[in-house]
């Protein structure tokens, strides 16, 4: 293991941009989403520790974005949708006192990328989906510490991210990878036998494949332990999210896929574990709440006091662990396969899944059709020719093809079901 490439995320290394004294300046991408709103809650409770200088959002919740901008007194606000700029300007004017200067507004598909490179210490990338790749690359190239909650940008652009990131520059924010990050601090890379990534099992834990045939969107959105956005929640129901996390763990820590295991832990108390060569296993555990991982991402190497809830150890509780049912949830093994293929294969997997999730939410594709369609798209894509010489145009071209092919197959599936 000692001759393996250096890991992207290493708790023993601290990357510290030279950006001045005082509170740590932070840019939050995806501020109106689940990660962003919890990050802002953390910042507002720690005003002497963090200061938010810019926010970005898609633009679907302009009133909330304007309120966040006013409460945080940010300098810049970015929205991906240019059509909402008038509504955002009006919402900001309603939040600010007369004569008080409003924050600068950036708009368009590149707006988040622009503020990711702005002056700050840390960029929290809480955007959902592979559209987070460009901001991730911009933050790294600008020399910012990257608190990474947007797993898709690492998965689809792994070699690109690894080529830019300096040692210690990326701090993972996913609860599983923040857990691995903390547990890995107890030993060296040579001490690690395997990584154990936990999964709640989602709303369909214990069901067979046959029992999943008729589940609804409402069923898939009823996650038993986590409150997340709809796309991530459905990815948790299919366990695609766990497959993506396996690829992410491989890229972050340079541990081979055959030494990364997934186990089902319904309580979601243990977020992941590291098994060491001497037989000991270190587990990181907190009640299910993303403010803890966010605090690690923003504060490391320091811990933020009272960032998240703690256990009441005076009360009895039971923690369970079960093997993963790969027949009912084939997404994890498919993710391992595309991760080993590398190149553009992970981008194809992720893009096809995003399209299929939207089709499922729209009632066009059945639940089991998500992974059936994604699997077919991956198979048709075949072995990527780009290998480790991946470029951004390669990723974009592969994603465009995968989305188009997934939509074509989705329409065929819907037509066949209508005729049945």
- pLDDT (0 to 100) of residue 1: 35
- CA separation for the pair 58, 140 (Å, rounded): 21
Please check whether residue 38 lies inside any domain of the structure. no
Please check whether residue 318 lies inside any domain of the structure. no
Tell me whether residue 33 is annotated as binding.
yes
Q: How confident is the model at residue 418 (pLDDT cuts 50, 70, 90)?
A: low
Q: How confident is the model at residue 390 (pLDDT cuts 50, 70, 90)?
A: confident
Tell me: pLDDT of 22 over 90. Answer: no
Tell me whether residue 241 is annotated as binding.
yes
Please check whether residue 4 lies inside any domain of the structure. no
Please check whether residue 265 lies inside any domain of the structure. yes
Q: Which residues contact 121 (CB under 8 A, 6 or more apart)?
A: 17, 19, 24, 25, 26, 144, 145
What values do phi and psi take at 194, rounded to 5?
-160, 160
Please check whether residue 263 lies inside any domain of the structure. yes
Q: How confident is the model at residue 416 (pLDDT cuts 50, 70, 90)?
A: low
Range of the domain at 354: 193-285+323-419
- pLDDT (0 to 100) of residue 413: 72
Tell me whether residue 271 is annotated as binding.
no
Tell me whether residue 219 is annotated as binding.
no
Tell me whether residue 118 is annotated as binding.
no
Tell me whether residue 175 is annotated as binding.
yes
Strands 170-172, 192-199: pairing is unpaired
Q: How confident is the model at residue 215 (pLDDT cuts 50, 70, 90)?
A: very high
Tell me whether residue 210 is annotated as binding.
no
Tell me whether residue 12 is annotated as binding.
no
Cα angle: 24, vertex 29, 33; to 5 degrees: 115
Closest by CA position to 246, among listed 227, 230, 262, 268: 262
Closest by CA position to 356, among listed 367, 346, 345: 367
pLDDT digits over 404-415, tens only?
Answer: 999 999 987 766
Assess whether the previous peptide bond of 15 is cis (omega < 30° from 0): no
Tell me whether residue 56 is annotated as binding.
no
Question: Which pair of tokens denotes residue 113?
Answer: 């990328």
- pLDDT (0 to 100) of residue 3: 44
- pLDDT (0 to 100) of residue 113: 98
What number is the average pLDDT over the span 257-276? 97
Tell me whether residue 34 is annotated as binding.
yes
Query: HSE of 341 in the Cβ direction (CA atoms, 13 Å)?
Result: 22
- pLDDT (0 to 100) of residue 224: 82
What number is the average pLDDT over the span 283-292? 95
What percent of the chain stands above pLDDT 90?
86
Q: What distance, in Å, lies between the first and last C-alpha atoms of the chain?
A: 54
Question: Which pair of tokens denotes residue 414?
Answer: 């819907």
Question: Which pair of tokens denotes residue 115?
Answer: 């503020």
Question: Structural domain tally of the chain?
Answer: 1
pTM of the complete model beyond 0.75: yes
Tell me: pLDDT of 19 over 70. Answer: no
Burial level of 213, CB count in 10 A (0-12/13-18/19+)?
exposed
Q: Which of the given ranges, 2-16, 303-317, 388-402, has the highest pLDDT on average?
A: 303-317
**Any long-range contacts for 368-374 (C-beta under 8 Å, 24+ apart)?**
368/209, 368/212, 368/213, 369/410, 369/413, 370/238, 370/240, 371/238, 371/240, 371/330, 371/331, 371/334, 373/406, 373/409, 373/410, 373/413, 374/240, 374/331, 374/334, 374/349, 374/406
Q: How confident is the model at residue 382 (pLDDT cuts 50, 70, 90)?
A: confident
Question: Which pair of tokens denotes residue 122?
Answer: 């840390």
Tell me whether residue 76 is annotated as binding.
no
Tell me whether residue 243 is annotated as binding.
no
Please check whether residue 380 lies inside any domain of the structure. yes
Measuring CA to CA, how many Å separate 299 from each of 94, 95, 175?
A: 33, 29, 15
Closest by CA position to 30, among listed 71, 73, 80, 84: 80
Tell me: pLDDT of 386 over 80. Answer: no
The answer to whether 241 touches 235, Cβ cutoff 8 Å, is yes
Please check whether residue 202 lies inside any domain of the structure. yes
Tell me: pLDDT of 226 over 80. Answer: no
Read off the CATH number of the domain in which 221 is found: 1.10.1740.10
Closest by CA position to 403, among listed 125, 134, 216, 130: 130
- pLDDT (0 to 100) of residue 384: 64
Count other Cβ atoms within 10 Å, centred on residue 181.
27
Tell me whether residue 200 is annotated as binding.
yes
Please check whether residue 241 lies inside any domain of the structure. yes
Helix, strand, or coil (residue 174)? coil
- pLDDT (0 to 100) of residue 2: 38
């Amino acid at each position: 293991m000692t001759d393996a490439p250096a890991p992207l995320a290493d708790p023993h290394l601290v990357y510290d941009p030279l950006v001045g004294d005082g509170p740590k300046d932070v840019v939050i991408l995806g501020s109106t989403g689940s990660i962003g709103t919890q990050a802002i809650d953390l910042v507002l409770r720690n005003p002497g520790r963090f200061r938010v200088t810019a926010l970005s959002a898609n633009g679907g919740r302009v009133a909330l974005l304007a309120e966040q901008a006013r409460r945080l007194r940010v300098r810049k606000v970015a929205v991906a949708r240019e059509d909402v700029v008038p509504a955002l300007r009006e919402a900001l004017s309603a939040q600010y006192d007369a004569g008080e200067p409003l924050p600068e507004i950036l708009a368009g598909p590149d707006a988040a990328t622009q503020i990711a490179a702005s002056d700050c210490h840390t960029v929290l990338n809480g955007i959902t989906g592979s559209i987070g790749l460009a901001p991730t690359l911009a933050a790294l190239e600008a020399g910012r510490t990257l608190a990474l909650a947007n797993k898709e940008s690492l998965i689809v652009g792994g070699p690109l991210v690894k080529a830019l990131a300096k040692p210690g520059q990326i701090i993972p924010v996913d609860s599983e990878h923040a857990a691995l990050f903390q547990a890995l601090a107890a030993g060296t890379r040579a001490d690690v036998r395997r990584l154990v990534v936990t999964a709640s099992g989602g709303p369909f834990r214990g069901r067979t494949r046959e029992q999943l045939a008729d589940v609804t969107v409402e069923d898939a959105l009823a996650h038993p332990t986590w409150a997340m956005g709809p796309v991530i929640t459905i990815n948790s129901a299919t366990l695609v999210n766990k497959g993506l996390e396996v690829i992410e763990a491989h890229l972050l820590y340079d541990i081979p896929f055959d030494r990364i295991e997934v186990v089902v832990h319904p309580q979601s108390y243990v977020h992941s574990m590291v098994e060491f060569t001497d037989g000991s296993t270190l587990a990181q555990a907190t009640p299910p709440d993303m403010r803890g991982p966010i605090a690690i991402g923003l504060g490391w190497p320091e811990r933020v006091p009272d960032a998240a809830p703690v256990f009441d150890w005076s009360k009895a509780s039971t923690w369970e662990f079960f093997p993963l049912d790969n027949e009912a949830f084939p997404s994890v093994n498919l993710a391992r396969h595309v991760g080993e293929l590398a190149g553009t294969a992970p981008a194809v997997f992720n893009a096809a899944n995003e399209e299929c999730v939207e089709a499922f939410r729209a009632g066009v594709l059945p639940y089991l059709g998500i992974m059936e369609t994604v699997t077919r798209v991956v198979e048709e894509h075949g072995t990527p020719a780009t290998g480790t010489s991946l470029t951004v145009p390669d990723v974009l071209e592969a994603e465009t093809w995968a989305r188009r092919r997934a939509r074509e197959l989705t329409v065929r599936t819907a037509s066949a079901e209508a005729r049945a």
